[in-house]
Amino acid sequence: MERVLVEEGIRISIPVRAKLEYLSLFSGKQIKIVNSDRVVLPEQILIVVNPYLRMENCIADGRVCFFEANKFSMPHLNEQCVNKVISLYKKNAHLIKKKTRISERAAFRKALALKLQHAVEYKIKDIRESMGFKQTELRLCQENIISASKALEKMKKMLEQTKAIKKTIGKDGERVKRVIEEMMALKKNNTFKKITFKLNEIVAETPVVYCQHADKTYMLGRYEIHVSLDSNEVKIYNLTRKADGFHHPHVNQSGIPCLGTLSDVIPKYMGRAEFAVILSVLNTYLHNYNEASPYKRIKHWPEKKKGNK
């Protein structure tokens, strides 16, 4: 026989169910949770839900009434309520047939078993939640490893390219002279207004850059191209006409260009120390516009009109 019967749709917490199990074992009777406003206890003693009850705590006609009994209504039946009923039974042993009673210790053991079951279920839930956190942490670590591996491979390529430049410069003084002459030739033919050689980079300044698109000519402004000798990176800055912080339709607000297929070509030129070619390619890049993938539409720069410089 099941000691505590609960009708479908009514919820009882594990601690309260343990108390009811204790009461059932102690009394030797079955307990029924029949609906939302009463609990059928041993010997047909009821907890009657009645918020209008006054100071009453007695046995009358097989019913037990509690002061503020509405606090004990289903599904809010609590341990305090059950404890009162247990106390009532202990004080009124005549309500329970001796042959149906079991020892209080045995009843306690049964109730304790339910308590321990609840504790184990809680621990299982806690472990599962901890496992979920660790799985998320592991996934983030894996993503970081992949990102770090890609960055490492990129740095390895940059290192090899830089070593190649160093090897070329170290072995061939004439080659260095020729590289510089090639870049200075770009200044002489007015491709660039100025070319400066710094410790770790080459800086080239352009005249005003014009770009044709849809039968219109736009004035983008003067630019400064920075080619790093350490990291092989390229940055481009607009000196005169930024649009909302953007240096060029294809250069973001930090001066980093979206080079597309050139991002694979330029490192090869750097590896061969062909800096004049790099500057020429970037100058051509500034004079072109790809409508499919701009950071900023070219219409944000002014059109060239007669007399504009």
User: Tens digits of per-residue pLDDT, 99-153?
Assistant: 344 455 665 666 667 667 777 888 888 888 889 899 989 988 998 899 888 888 8
Other CB atoms within a 10 A radius of the CB of residue 153 amount to 10
pLDDT at residue 225 in the model: 97
User: What's this model's pTM, rounded to 2 decimal places?
Assistant: 0.48
At residue 219, does pLDDT exceed 80? yes
Determine the average pLDDT of the residues in 172-187: 82
Highest mean pLDDT: which of 8-17, 39-48, 52-61, 296-305?
296-305
Q: Tell me which of 177 and 106 has the higher pLDDT.
A: 177
Q: Structural domain boundaries of the chain?
A: 4-102, 175-300
Hey, what CATH topology would domain 175-300 get? Ubiquitin Conjugating Enzyme (3.10.110)
pLDDT digits (tens, 9 = 90+) for 49-104: 333 433 334 333 334 443 333 333 444 456 666 676 666 656 655 544 443 444 55
Mean per-residue pLDDT of the chain: 76
Q: Which residue has the higher pLDDT, 218 or 51?
A: 218
Letter string b/e over residues 91-104, b meaning 16 or more CB atoms within 10 A of that residue's CB: eeeeebeeeebeee
What does each C-alpha distance from 234 to 35, 80, 130, 166, 227 come to in angstroms? 77, 75, 46, 19, 5
Helices assigned H by DSSP within the chain: 14-27, 79-91, 104-171, 173-188, 262-271, 275-286
The residues, any chain, with a CB within 8 Å of residue 211's CB and separated by 6 or more, are: 217, 218, 220, 249, 286, 287, 288, 289, 298, 301
